[in-house]
Amino acid sequence: MTVSDILKRPYHGIVWSAALAGVLLLFSCATVPITERRAIHLVSDEEMTTLSLQEYSKVIQESKLSHNSAEVQMVKNAGSRIARATEELLKEKGMAEDIRTYKWEFNLIDDPKTVNAWCMPGGKVAVYTGILPVTKDETGLAVVMGHEIAHAVAKHGNERMSQGLLAQLGGVALSVALSTQPAAATDLFLSAYGMGTQVGVLLPYSRVQEAEADKIGLALMARAGYDPREAVPFWKRMNEKGGSRPPEFLSTHPAPETRIREIEAFLPEAMKYYRGK
């Protein structure tokens, strides 16, 4: 009897699926910096970075980049400072290997109607001009960029894509999925980073991941020399900006009151990084 025959039997199929899931969880768990939560990562950093470069290039080519030199420079300044802080922090925590594929890039996209920003694997960051009236200054911008870079540092996209590979493609390796089901694999990657065209079917970050990005982002901005206490007024401004319909940046985020409460609770820890400056 072949393995295929065994898997066709309901009971054996369940046993083998459970065994496979157990093996994957055992060998694919990673620790998130700062929070030290354990997460499953089935995709290598190299594979995620390769897809990131492809998709980021497409977005940049298809977008109108800002020519406002002051605003562009502010984005690059904040990004560079947080990038240095990120690398320093990961090295101190013995996680230097996590940034070996990083090639930082920061772009400001001229789109006043889009209140958003994001970071992909490898340190590929995009900020939309629509969020600048809310950030107000470089410190406010550091709140946003710290949060988005934190998602990448915590490898939340890898975690979501790994969940998708397990749930939708049977846990196959990404390289196999790309060769046998390229469209499905690419869609998984895009949805993992909220970049698909069908907004209604995008997989939002979980509340755990959002709270994690808030905490890591506060530590990163503080380490970069920005006052993390400014995160509270920023999120209050962002919530006021939303009105009855929240901006895209808030559409998958926790309730405003919950977020601000949790940020205020973490501020004493974040200030430890800031005082070192």
Which residue from 21, 25, 20 is spatially nearest to 3, judged by alpha carbons? 20
Q: What is the per-residue pLDDT for 25?
A: 45
In the chain, pLDDT over 90 holds for what percent of residues?
Answer: 45
The chain-wide mean pLDDT, for the chain, equals 79
For 27-31, 53-57, 234-238, which range has the lowest pLDDT when averaged over its residues? 27-31
Options 47, 55, 105, 148, the catalytic residue = 148
pLDDT at 206 over 60: yes
Give the single-character DSSP code of 206.
Answer: P
Between 264 and 192, residue with greater pLDDT: 264
Residues 93-102 have a mean pLDDT of: 86
Give the single-character DSSP code of 226.
Answer: -
- List pLDDT tens digits, range 128-154: 999 999 999 999 999 999 999 999 999
- List pLDDT tens digits, range 100-135: 889 999 999 999 999 999 998 899 999 999 999 999
Residues 216-240 have a mean pLDDT of: 95
Residues 70-97 have a mean pLDDT of: 95
If you average pLDDT over each of 11-15, 31-35, 44-48, 78-82, which comes out highest? 78-82
Residues 58-67 have a mean pLDDT of: 96
Query: Is position 212 annotated as part of the catalytic site?
Result: no
244: left (phi over 0), alpha (psi -120 to 50) or beta: alpha
Torsion of CA 171, 50, 71, 140, to 10 degrees: 30
Between 244 and 205, residue with greater pLDDT: 205
Q: What is the pTM of this model?
A: 0.77
Model confidence at 257, pLDDT cuts 50, 70, 90, reads confident
List the end-to-end C-alpha distance of the chain, in Å, as a whole number: 66
For 5-14, 118-127, 153-162, 167-176, which range has the lowest pLDDT when averaged over its residues? 5-14
Cα distances (Å, whole numbers) of residue 197 to 39, 170, 201, 245: 27, 24, 9, 20
Dist. CA 16–CA 37, nearest whole Å: 27
For the chain, which residues make up each domain, given as ranges? 45-157+203-275
